[in-house]
Amino acid sequence: MKINRIYMENPFIYGVATSGKWFTDREKDTKRLLMNFTNGINTIIISPRRWGKTSLVLKVAEQLNSKNLKIVTFDIFSCRSAEEFYRTFATKIIKQTASKWEEWSENALHFLSALTPKISFGSDPVNDFNISFDFSKKHILDEEVLNLPLKIAKEKGIKIVVCIDEFQQIGEFDDYVTFQKKLRSFWQLQANYVSYCLYGSKKHMMEKFFSKQSMPFYKFGDVIFLQKIAQEYWVPFIQKRFEETGKSISPELAEKICETVENHSSYVQQFAWLIWVHTQKETTLADFNEAYNDLLNQNTPLYYGYMDGLTSLQINFLRAVADGIEDQFSRRETIFIYNLGTSANISRLKKSLEQKELIDITEKRVTFNDPVFRIWFRKEIL
């Protein structure tokens, strides 16, 4: 059977950062971020997991990266200590502010000379390059590493934007509040040369870091609370991606995709992909329903992982949320119907489920963080 080349390109991408024609809308957010990066404004991006924060930052970085403005992007998810953060920070800054890999060692030795850095290359020097230090030199370590982008920017006559993904990981470090104070004490003095964009996948932790007056990073910069992409943008995007690959989907079914997954960016792309796979030429309701079952089946192992270790009270609270209750959980009727124990339990249940990233609390309104998990939960647990 002859396979048309047009079908070989994946029309939808999920689970990873998207760019180019796979990226849709975010026009206002993109414009705001472009202005912040260009004008040296620190930026914090807050939203639940998989709403497109990383894709947005990478899109803007791609547009702005130039000889005079360097956008450094990296995540610190694997960092478990301040020492690991310092190594990652220095390595990424050196790598992404040089025009070629041959300069990395030279720049590291020059800008970090006081720390006598150890430089290592693997079999693939472009991807396997790392810097480490003698951490016994604590009296100069903070200044040398945290001021590294400032020193590079001044000497090279450029501006730098440092974008750090999974920033909430710092909350796992020993004495993380003191560490945050240290970061801010250096970073707030780098204006006109270096600015920072900090974002992460745990909304409640990011809100704690940047919205509480008692925390070191309070009012550090422009806080962007990222919203979902509206259905009016998703529908033409979905239809266009089908058309570009020789298939078609009606606006009604494209809308049904968005409504089913509540405009959740990653799930819109995943669901649309599954429907595209089932579609021969023009999407039918049968194609939609088969893809719907696939969506639930593919994510079932993940959802059982969500359920693992939950207490009966936590499951009961999720039952209430799954039934559409969003507030006033302490009402006697709600406590009785869902067997929530006492009203004193409610705040503890909210906090624990928010920390597990199973619920989102916005303006005291409680919803499922994961809309497809809610569908699965109603089907399997209620």
- Taking the CA atoms of 344, 350, 352 and 358 in sequence, report the sign of the dihedral they define: positive
Task: Summarize pLDDT for 51-89 with one digit per residue, the tens.
Answer: 889 989 999 999 999 999 999 999 999 999 999 999 999
Residue 16: pLDDT above 90? no
* DSSP class of 282: B
**pLDDT class for 321, splitting at 50, 70, 90?**
very high
Domain end, chosen from 225, 247, 270, is at 225
Which range (125-134, 313-322, 357-366) has the least confidence?
A: 125-134
Residue 106: pLDDT above 90? yes
- Quick one: tokens of 223? 């806080």
Q: What is the mean pLDDT of the chain?
A: 92
Report the pLDDT averaged over residues 361-377: 95
Residue 8: pLDDT above 70? no
Residue 316 covered by a domain: yes
| More reliable by pLDDT, 7 or 293 | 293
SS (H, E, C) 132-179: ECCCCCHHHHHHHHHCHHHHHHHHHCCEEEEEEECHHHHHHCCCHHHH
What local confidence, expressed as pLDDT, does residue 124 receive? 79
Report the pLDDT averaged over residues 13-34: 76
- Quick one: tokens of 25? 């809308």
Residue 4: pLDDT above 60? no
> How many C-beta atoms surround the C-beta of residue 216 within 10 A?
19
Is pTM beyond 0.85? Reply is: yes
**Nearest Cα to Cα of residue 324 among 360, 374, 362:** 374
Sheet holding 69-75, edge to edge: 69-75, 159-165, 194-199, 43-46, 222-225
Same domain? For 275 and 215 the reply is: no
Residue 325 covered by a domain: yes
**pLDDT class for 181, splitting at 50, 70, 90?**
very high
Q: Quick one: how far is CA 215 from the chain centroid?
A: 21
Residue 183: pLDDT above 80? yes
Phi-psi region of 52 (alpha: psi -120 to 50; beta: other; left: phi over 0): left
What local confidence, expressed as pLDDT, does residue 347 receive? 95
The CA distances from residue 374 to 28, 47, 207, 231, 307, in Å, are 30, 19, 24, 20, 12
Same domain? For 52 and 11 the reply is: no
What local confidence, expressed as pLDDT, does residue 2 receive? 38
Can you give the C-alpha Rg of the chain in angstroms? Answer: 24
Residue 21 covered by a domain: no
Same domain? For 261 and 193 the reply is: no
Domain end, chosen from 305, 333, 348, is at 305
**pLDDT class for 141, splitting at 50, 70, 90?**
very high
Segments forming the whole domain that contains residue 253:
5-15+229-305
Residue 302: pLDDT above 50? yes
Q: Write phi, then psi, for 351 (nearest 5 degrees).
A: -60, -45
Same domain? For 274 and 325 the reply is: no
Same domain? For 316 and 298 the reply is: no
**pLDDT class for 9, splitting at 50, 70, 90?**
low
Same domain? For 269 and 130 the reply is: no
Q: Where are the beta strands (DSSP E) in the chain?
A: 43-46, 69-75, 118-121, 129-132, 159-165, 194-199, 222-225, 359-362, 365-368
Report the pLDDT averaged over residues 219-247: 94
**pLDDT class for 118, splitting at 50, 70, 90?**
very high
Residue pair 172/81 in contact by the 8 Å Cβ criterion: no
- The b-or-e profile of 259-289 (16+ CB within 10 A means b, else e) is ebbbbbbbbbbbbbbbbbeebeeebbeebbe
Please name the amino acid found at residue 174. D
Same domain? For 237 and 360 the reply is: no
Residue 219 covered by a domain: yes
What local confidence, expressed as pLDDT, does residue 5 receive? 41
Residue 3: pLDDT above 70? no
Q: Quick one: how far is CA 327 from the chain centroid?
A: 27
**pLDDT class for 90, splitting at 50, 70, 90?**
very high
CATH number of the domain bearing residue 259: 1.10.8
| Tally of domains within the chain | 3
- The Cα–Cα gap between 77 and 72 comes to 16
Domain end, chosen from 277, 305, 333, is at 305
- Taking the CA atoms of 264, 269, 272 and 278 in sequence, report the sign of the dihedral they define: negative
